[in-house]
Amino acid sequence: MKLSDFKVLTFDCYGTLIDWETGLLEALKPLTDRVPRKLSGNEILETFARYESLQQERTPTKVYSELIATVCKRMAEGWAIPASWDECLQCGHSVKDWPAFPDSAEALAYLKEYYKLVILSNVDNESFAGSSAKLGVSFDAIYTAQDIGTYKPRDNNFHYLLDMLARAGTQKSDILHTAQSLRHDHVPANRHELKSCWIDRQHNREGSGATPLPSEMPHYDFRYFSMAELAEAHRKELAE
């Protein structure tokens, strides 16, 4: 199997292309600064992940910026600290400001020459518009949780992706799903018999951060530590 076997790269965005953990820690700082004990970055992110997964299950149609605001409220309650709803909303609306990974824009610009690029993201459209501007590429399609009405890892999101791409003439065998999250992306990709590429940006870090680990390790077909490594692997493949 080769990278050049595929015609479409479908991407998770946050954690794969956008450095959402850095963005989250900065957005949560007004709350975490009030916690009387010292919190590590990983503890903050793992706490966020627990509440976020629960909230996505309970309110799958809630717009992501509002869902994050609710998660911030729950985190503050758990830490027994004050937090106004306006502060929580401000955190929720910070998604558009989260930084891209330094290698994302350049890698996407290169890959755009060889593939159609498609987003499948647990986000709302307004928030993604801010992120898209940082990535500097025109995506061929963008499918958000707001469009679909559920959050990954639900099968509905992948049914939607495959149905929409099939209508555009794309076969499943043409698609390589490219993502950091094993739980949100690679596990359901396995269920839908999609080939997948793991962008393992957390390979040199302790803890699971803002992405909960799955109960069992899913299969993946390619693994790279960054988008730059993926683009370079494609270059080398073409040169051989």
Helix axes 41-58, 64-79, angle to 10 degrees: 120
Exposure string of 170-188, with b = 16+ CB inside 10 Å and e = fewer, is beeeebbbbbbbbbbbbbb
Given a contact cutoff of 8 angstroms between Cβ atoms, the answer to whether 119 and 108 are in contact is no
Alpha carbon of 209 to those of 15, 96, 142, 174: distances in Å? 10, 20, 26, 32
Q: Is residue 12 flagged as an active site residue?
A: yes
Burial of 201 (0-12, 13-18, 19+ CB in 10 A): buried
Given a contact cutoff of 8 angstroms between Cβ atoms, the answer to whether 181 and 211 are in contact is yes
Q: Which residue is catalytic, options 12, 19, 124, 185?
A: 12
Given a contact cutoff of 8 angstroms between Cβ atoms, the answer to whether 75 and 31 are in contact is yes
| Secondary structure class of 228 (helix, strand, coil) | helix
Q: Running DSSP on this structure, what letter comes out for residue 182?
A: I
Which positions are annotated as active-site residues?
Answer: 12
